[in-house]
Amino acid sequence: MDYSEKLKSLPTQFFANLVGKVNKAIEDGRDVINLGQGNPDQPTPKHIVQALQKAVEDPNTHKYSPFRGLLELKEAVCDFYKKEYDVDVDPVREVAILFGAKAGLVELPMCLLNPGDLMLLPDPGYPDYLSGVVLAGVEYELFPLKAENHFLPDYNAISSDVLDAAKLLYLNYPNNPTGAVANLGFFNQTVKLAKKHEITVMHDFAYGAIGFDGKKPVSFLQADGAKDIGVEMYTLSKTYNMAGWRVGFAVGNPTIIEAINLIQDHLYVSLFPAVQKAAIAALSGDQTCVKELVARYESRRNAFVDACKQIGWDVTAPKGSFFAWLPVPDGFTSQSFADYLLDAADVAVAPGNGFGKYGEGFIRVGLLMDESRLFEAVQRIGNLGVFKNK
């Protein structure tokens, strides 16, 4: 029995290859410091775990929940958006519960586009965006995110023919992999562009809670008219260390939300009700745990960047997310430098070319371990002598 042509055409899972290399090194008995992952290292806060435990003991959660999720969870999402971003959201018409934000990101092109339609994707960008392209049978154009433009797209550099043909645009701020952030002015500009060219916008807000230097990341829905043309997707994975729980949501334009709900009616029944109850506790409860988590990441960022500068690595501190985006030294490509660090220093990083053409020349580091371990990783890299010590 053969695989379908669609399955054969799916892109190679970039992170699976990286994990394979790291696991092989660990199996060989090497002390690998893995900075290549994007998996939060802290446990889910206790009050959320306790909410799950309590919900699991209730036999009512052992049954199917409504196809489109618990209204109570949707109301918690609306309260969260009002409290955090002063955005009004209708729980019935403007919220879709997701089986993790990745599911929403991949299924959205199938909801809105027909084979051959054009969508626009950032480069560098989250590799799984391309999975949605293939599954929907659509075309795509990449727009570069460059350091000189603070890793924001330059809409003036995209031809009017491409903009007129495009039907869907993906954005992601705070950004994976660059750690860049966007301001409200940029999102207002995006809404204006989208309305002019009749483009639907999807903003991936996975790292929405993680902003540094006293600046809170901006929601796309805070832009004037954003709900007229787009949606935002949010996950509890990063904000509450709930990556394995697979729960997120989309908010925004009611027509798009209905499309997401409709496709999920056919793909799923609904998320385990006890997980939905725990998600309610996360969104509605005390947010001190989130503030503490952001402070932890900022402290790690500062320690890591300072250590890099001490070995002569000219790096820029990320403004958001839990990633750092670092230039490779002269004489290396992204892949060759990543391979060299793993082979010579037992330090694993994600090569930038795995995120797109414009990721070449960079590596991505996850700030997902204690400062002492981050410092040790930088010291190992410094001992290789590829940077001029200061």
Q: The whole model's pTM is what? A: 0.95
Helices (H), the chain: 5-8, 14-27, 46-56, 71-85, 101-112, 129-136, 160-165, 184-197, 226-229, 236-239, 254-267, 273-284, 288-310, 334-345, 371-383
The residue extents of the domains of the chain are 5-44+288-383, 46-284
The answer to whether 277 and 55 have CB atoms below 8 angstroms apart is yes
46 has a pLDDT exceeding 80? yes
CATH class, range 46-284: alpha beta
Q: What is the pLDDT of residues 5-30, one digit of tens each?
A: 989 888 877 777 788 888 898 899 99
pLDDT of residue 33: 96
Fold observed for domain 5-44+288-383 = Aspartate Aminotransferase, domain 1 (3.90.1150)
390 has a pLDDT exceeding 80? no
- The CA-based angle 242-295-53, given to 5 degrees, is 30
The arithmetic mean of pLDDT across residues 278-305, rounded, is 97
In 3D space, the residue among 210, 218, 165 whose CA is nearest the CA of residue 322 turns out to be 210
Q: What is the pLDDT of residues 294-307, one digit of tens each?
A: 999 999 999 999 99
**Stronger pLDDT, 16 or 118, i.e. the higher one:** 118
Q: What percent of the chain has pLDDT over 70?
A: 99
Which amino acid makes up residue 375? F
